[in-house]
Amino acid sequence: MTREEKLALLRQWEVSYLKLDLQMDRLSAVVGSTVHSPLGEAVWGAWGNYTRALAELVGDGYEWLNWYCFDNDMGKKACKAGWEGDMRPITQAADLLWLIEGGGGDKEATWAEA
pLDDT tens across 58-99, in order? 999 899 999 999 999 999 999 999 988 789 999 999 999 999
Q: What pLDDT, on a 0 to 100 scale, did the predictor assign at position 104? A: 61
Return d(Cα 33, Cα 15) in angstroms, integer.
23
pLDDT tops 90 at residue 112: no
pLDDT tens across 2-20, in order? 999 999 999 999 999 999 9
Could you tell me which of 2, 1, 17, 13 has the C-alpha nearest to residue 96?
Answer: 13
Average pLDDT over residues 43-64: 96
CA distances from 22 to 1, 19, 29, 77, 91 (A): 31, 5, 11, 18, 19
Q: What pLDDT, on a 0 to 100 scale, did the predictor assign at position 33? A: 78
Domain positions in the chain: 3-112
